[in-house]
Amino acid sequence: MAPALAFSRPANLTIITPFVMASLIDGKQIAQDIRGRIHSEINAIQAVSSEFNPSLVIIQVGARPDSSTYVKMKLNAAKEANISCELVSLPETTSQHELLSRISKLNAEPAVHGILVQLPLPAHIAEDKVTAAVSKEKDVDGFGPFNVGELNRRNGEPLYLPCTPKGIMELLAHAKVELNGANAVVLGRSDIVGAPVARLLQMANATVTVLHSKTQNIAQYVSTADVVVSAIGQAGFVQGSWLKPGCVVIDVGTNFVEDATKKSGSRMVGDVDFESAVKVASQVTPVPGGVGPMTVAMLLENVVIAAKRQHDASKHPKKFTNPLPLNLQTPVPSDFEISRDQEPKHITDVASEAGILDSELEPFGAYKAKVNLNLLDRLGNKRNGKYILVTGITPTPLGEGKSTTTVGLAQALGAHLHKNVFANVRQPSMGPTFGIKGGAAGGGYSQVIPMDEFNMHVTGDIHAISMANNLLAAAIDTRIFHENTQKDAALYKRLVPAKKGVRTFAKCFLNRLQKLGINKTEPNDLTEEEISRFVRLDIDPETITWRRVVDCNDRFLRGVTIGEAATEKGMTRSTGFDISVASECMAILALANSLEDMRDRLGRMVIGSSRAGVPVTCEDIGCAGALTALLKDAIKPNIMQTLEGTPVFVHAGPFANISIGASSILADKMALKLAGTSLDLSEEEAKEHEGYVVTEAGFDFTMGGERFINIKCRSSGLVPDVVVIVATVRALKVHGGGPEVKAGAPLAAEYTQENVELLRAGCSNLAKHISNAKQYGLPVVVAINQMSSDSASEHEVIREESLKAGADAAIVSNHWEEGGKGAVDLANGVIAASQQPKDFKFLYETSGSVEDRIATIAKEMYGAGAVEFSEIAQQKIATYTAQGFGNLPICIAKTQYSLSHDAALKGVPSGFTFPIRDVRASIGAGYLYALAAEIQTIPGLPTHCGFMNVEVNAEGEIDGLF
């Protein structure tokens, strides 16, 4: 209903009128035809895409009779058009906050394509706040600020036109009214009808005059109009005597006047005096039966547009067409200078370009955000994009550029080949950031930016991991203390307290009861024996493996004694700290497939054993729910961008020595869906439109790649399409017998001058990694990471040796100096390899003995001749097997600087005896890890630390990072 603007009726203007009656523009029939067309269109799409189901939700606050009538019309029309339509009826007392919360939930619901809030709303609710709350993708009423703003902007592109103005334009089109150059008068300037219809008429090249309650000589203006649109809410205001003969009249008014002949006592009339108007105008819309039905039809059409837009977007990713330009300089400046020199996109733009909805994005400032897991539900019917795994050869302490290659390859695929692409990288720990190694943002002109935000906290996930880990550590020692100082009855009373006279078991305790085989849910029903079994974990302090963590290199926390305060009554024990990323909580964050999966895994974490040898879990202690609460936001992947504006998921960062050393499964799954294509597309169409996800595994292929496939892929169900092995001339010369390379020390002449013989000898290490990768039945591309001291002859040697070893391609990439431009050849090689057939297989099955699986990895991947298990390792394996953990994948912790366990053995050592000194369990994460050497799980700081260079300048910017 158009609002009344209290127009004052002007003096009557008499004109000569023809005696031909105007024809009616039958909005009811036109709307019915449109609904029929919509129904047919939906049926046609559903014939090939059964999941296509346009859906509208109408929210009505209160029960105004007129609003209820309009809502009923919309519900009936939607049903007729084969559109799912749900009415959410809320009481008039609903608060603005409650209404906005309901809209927010609907915004995030992927099955809902359109949201309409029935107006008017109760006086205590601000309509502008409500219409603005509906996401622009679902604003099918066209009243939100985005769509209104775009409509009124020159060359604007609103997603939806407001329904009544759109319906008016549709009526004029059906009536074949020529608007180009016509004079149009619009009575009323409301945001709902008057203003937007005036704008649409202008866009159709009509000359438009808008009249309002303060306009003088209204009749005179009307008398010159070829088209009159009245939306003022005053019955019979416009007289036929004002009209220009042959004009077209669109009556938007819906007014009720008394009529004793009607059962209701009233009848609906428009703003135009119909009886006099039809004697002058050439065409007139009736009331009712004119604009009203068209408003509903246009609403349904907007819903279908929304559904088709989402459906089309889900078929294939948009091509990446908005790269950031690089200002390449020679010599290449520091990483930090390059990062600061680039102006990043706002993260909302990065996400939108990647296909992430506003409702799925949770910004943290301007350049980073979290992405809601609901995205996986929305895109669940898509096939995945191509999955590219970046690994390397056995590195030097300087690193060979896996992260830089990951980012450079993504930049090449997106910014230069216009593919939809994601780079997925780990979140860096502040241990190496403030220590010596530096962050993991890439380098040169292939970086994640802003690199200071990347290396400092990101969105705080690692801090959440630290809190969760340390809460469990505190709970373990507290439980031992209370069991040692209380009897069963007192323990039970405090563990299951009465609240308002009622005792109930928490969820975690129900799980423990089930584990104990106690099939009772009423606390008062347990026997004394059952109570004792329930409350007594009887943890053996000597078996506790759970340690506290801190995200900092601090060697003096490797061994500590806790419980020294007098209040702890002498209950001291020796323990230590790990770095936060070594926590099993971090491994679980990386390997979980959903929030529910993370909750289950956290509950399964084993922290030690009882004195009877029974494993004690986080669930037994009652901590799993709280840990999940601490990590409920951390499980959402973080999105950032590269120097060239392509999207990056930054999520999780398990300690690479004792875990998978890769980003999260959830980040990979999200990226693969965003880069994927619809199942409705043919194989050829999918190939044309598919995108790429470039993800990195820690260390070399033999460590990081092996774990990625045998542990991470087992959990995710995903399989890489290509393995990229990063090699450098420098590292291969080391494996050919070159001098030792040390961080911070000058390179020997062998590494700065051409030496083909030394290089060719070292290529045996590369050949071993290629051979190892080929065992999994996957295509392999060698990325030769170019450095300034390399020669073309040396690159050719690597290419020859790579192809001889079975690689599908070996390609030089200069992404460090040139960004994505320097990696285009590599990107094309990866695309070609990704189309090759795969014959994927795991290295081992999880059946059989733990010793056999360890031996398979050591012999097949490392080249060992035999495996030697220490006495403690044998005891641990026997214990884990007896406890039911003997069928898990294996992670072997060893040096990353050799294929063997000895960092001094370069090249391809073989026939050595591989020593296993200990075996530990990460039951929640889902693997056992064997220690082949002394691996420190909390590094120490060097003499000159990275933090010594870090300052904050007068503008509040961080200086001194890398």
Residue 836: which of 807, 812, 803 has the closest Cα? Answer: 807
Q: Which of 307, 325, 346 is the last residue of a domain?
A: 307
Does residue 290 sit within a domain?
yes
Pair (233, 269) in one structural domain? yes
Q: How confident is the model over 838-879, as pLDDT tens digits?
A: 999 999 999 999 999 999 999 999 999 999 999 999 999 999
* Rounded CA separation 131/142 (Å): 9
Residue 153 lies in a domain: yes
Taking the C-alpha atoms of residue 133 and residue 118, their distance in angstroms, rounded to an integer, is 14
Amino acid at 843: L
The answer to whether 891 and 928 are in contact (CB under 8 A) is yes
Query: What is the CATH classification number for the domain harbouring 480?
Result: 3.30.1510.10
**DSSP β-ladder status, 951-952 and 780-785:** unpaired
Check whether residue 105 and residue 211 sit in a common domain.
Answer: yes
How do residues 40-60 score in pLDDT, each as one tens digit? 999 999 998 888 999 999 999
Residue-level pLDDT at 945: 63
Let me know whether 585 and 493 are in one domain: yes
Assigned token pair, 148: 């209104």
Q: 50-54, 560-564, 909-913: which has the minimum mean pLDDT?
A: 50-54
> Are 624 and 641 part of one and the same domain?
no
858 and 831 belong to one structural domain: no
Please tell me what DSSP assigns to residue 377: H
- The SS3 call for residue 27 is helix
pLDDT for residue 311 is more than 90? no
Write out the two tokens for 299. 């609403």
Whether 167 maps to a domain, the answer reads yes
Q: Using H for helix, E for strand and C for coil, what is the string for 462-475?
A: HHHHHHHHHHHHHH
| 18 vs 389 pLDDT, higher one | 389
Query: pLDDT tens digit string along 673-709?
Result: 999 998 888 888 888 889 999 999 989 999 999 999 9
CATH code (residue 748): 3.40.50.300
So what's the pLDDT on residue 13?
A: 52
Digit-coded pLDDT (tens) for 317-367: 778 999 999 999 999 998 889 999 999 999 999 999 999 988 899 999 999
Model confidence at 437, in pLDDT bands (50, 70, 90)?
Answer: low
What pLDDT is recorded for position 439? 58
Q: Does 886 lie in the same domain as 803?
A: no
> Two tokens at 401?
């550029």
Residue 690 structural domain? 383-458+636-835
Residues 889 and 808 in one domain: no
Closest CA to 256 of 74, 123, 65, 11: 65
Indicate whether 173 belongs to any domain: yes
DSSP letters spanning 195-238: HHHHHHHHHTT-EEEEE-TT-S-HHHHHTT-SEEEE-S--TT-B
Helix axis angle, 792-804 to 756-774, nearest 10°: 30
CB atoms within 10 A of CB 265: 10
Of 720, 729, 675, nearest to 701 by C-alpha is 720
Is 950 inside a domain boundary? no
Report, as residue numbers or ranges, the catalytic residues: 74, 118, 141
Rounded-to-10 torsion of CA 118, 119, 125, 130:
60
Q: Any residues with CB less than 8 A from the CB of 881 and at least 6 apart, and which?
A: 849, 850
Whole-number Å distance between alpha carbons of 9 and 254: 18
What is the share, in percent, of the chain residues with pLDDT greater than 90?
80
Both 453 and 486 in a single domain? no
Residue 448 in domain: yes
562 contact partners, CB below 8 Å, separation of at least 6: 477, 572, 573, 575
pLDDT tens, residue by residue, 409-425: 999 999 999 999 999 99
In which band, very low, low, confident or very high, does the pLDDT at 314 lie, cut at 50, 70 and 90? confident
Q: Which of 835, 867, 888 is the last residue in one of the domains?
A: 835
Question: Does the pLDDT at position 12 exceed 80?
Answer: no
Phi, psi angle pair for 489, to nearest 5°:
-65, -45
DSSP string, 419-478: --EEEEEPPPPHHHHHSSS--SSEETTEEEESHHHHHTTTTTHHHHHHHHHHHHHHHHHH
Kindly state the average pLDDT of the residues 597-609.
97
299 pLDDT above the threshold of 90: yes
Identify whether residues 394 and 421 lie together within a single domain.
yes
pTM for this predicted structure = 0.85
As beta bridge partners, residue 255 has 269
- Residue 15: predicted pLDDT: 47
How does the average pLDDT of the chain come out, rounded?
A: 92
Is 658 found in the same domain as 543? Answer: no
Which CATH number do you get for residue 897? 3.10.410.10
The answer on 81 and 224 residing in a single domain is yes
Domain's final residue, options 766, 800, 835:
835
Question: For residues 633 and 464, is the Cβ–Cβ distance under 8 A?
Answer: yes
- State how many domains the chain has: 4
Residue 855 inside a domain? The answer is yes
3-state secondary structure of 815: helix
Instruction: Kindly report the CATH number assigned to the domain that includes residue 187.
Output: 3.40.50.720
Name all contacts of 942-945 with Cβ < 8 Å and 24+ positions apart: 942/435, 942/436, 944/436, 944/744, 945/434, 945/435, 945/436
Q: What pLDDT, in 10s, does the model give residues 179-191? A: 999 999 999 999 8
pLDDT at 170 over 50: yes
* Whether residue 940 has pLDDT greater than 90: no
Confidence bin at 4 (pLDDT 50/70/90): very low
Same domain, 802 and 854: no
Find all residues with CB under 8 Å of 399, minimum gap 6, and list them.
Answer: 437
In the chain, pLDDT over 70 holds for what percent of residues?
A: 95
Residue 943: the pLDDT is 63
Residue 843 lies in a domain: no
The answer to whether residue 948 scores a pLDDT higher than 70 is no
Task: Indicate the length of the chain as a whole number.
Answer: 962
Quickly state the pLDDT bin for 771 (edges 50, 70, 90).
very high
